[in-house]
Structures are given as C-alpha cells and as structure tokens.
Amino acid sequence: MDWIDLIIEIPSTGNTIIIEFKVIKIDFLNIAGANRLHKASTLEGYSSADDVLQILFGSWDTIRIGNERRAGNSIIHWITLPGGPAAQLASYWNGPHVANMHMQGHVSAYLVVIVGSRKILFSRLDNNGQLGNFNLAGSISG
C-alpha cells in the first residue's frame, strides 16, 4: 500500500488537502558549479518554475522509474513519467482512501518538489487527476 505524505484536514470547513513531497538533492542535478556551494548559488539564480523544470539530472544519477533512468532527463520529464511523481499522486487521488474523503467534503491535492534545497515547485491536481501548471514558491508567477 502506498502512503500519502501529508494529509491536512480542516474540520471547520470540511476541506482536506493532500500533499505529495519529492526532494531532489543538488548532487543529482546537472548544474554549473565546482561544488555544492557553487551549484546552490547557480540554482538560486533561477527565477521561474519553467526554468527549474528544465534542469537536467546529471549523467551520474542512478535513480530509475520503471526501465527509465532520470540521468540526462529534465525534472519535468521525470515528474510526468509513467510511475513518476504525477502518476503517484494521481493514483492516490483515484484510490479508495481519497474517495472516502471526497464523500466527506472538498479535497485538493498538490505535488511539491523541493529542488536542491533552494527551490520549491508546486502544482495542484485538477478534478480529473491531471497536474496544473507548476508554480515556484516565493514568486508571483510560475
């Protein structure tokens, strides 16, 4: 059984928020810099969600989803792979546990991706189980 990372229930409103977190260590990203501090400084300069989503995983990354390695692929590619983070959140959304929550009130679900401990991306799942546009926490537009 898969487990939802965080469920926030607000009894006074009947709302429930589901959050799936993913963390990408800066060491796995193909970002310019001789060391972690330099890479962090480079990552700090990214100002839009789209720019962060296009960052590639380094060739040394060994994480796999199914038969596909993350190495050489973008963050958004990894998120949208079959069996990837978006599919994982959608499976929770369509599962029996969340179906019971729907019967008790309004439910919303979010994917939150923490990139190199410097950037936080988030996207809300729509009622059809599809991710919306990503936003960058701390910025006015994604």
* Digit-coded pLDDT (tens) for 50-87: 999 999 999 999 998 888 889 999 999 999 999 999 99
Range of the domain at 85: 6-136
DSSP-based three-state secondary structure for 11: coil
> What is the total count of domains within the chain?
1
Residue 66 in any domain: the answer is yes
Contact between 55 and 25 under an 8 Å Cβ cutoff? The reply is no
Element (H, E) at 120: strand 119-125
d(CA 131, CA 76): 11
Task: Confirm whether 141 is domain-assigned.
Answer: no
Residue 123 lies in a domain: yes
pTM comes to 0.90
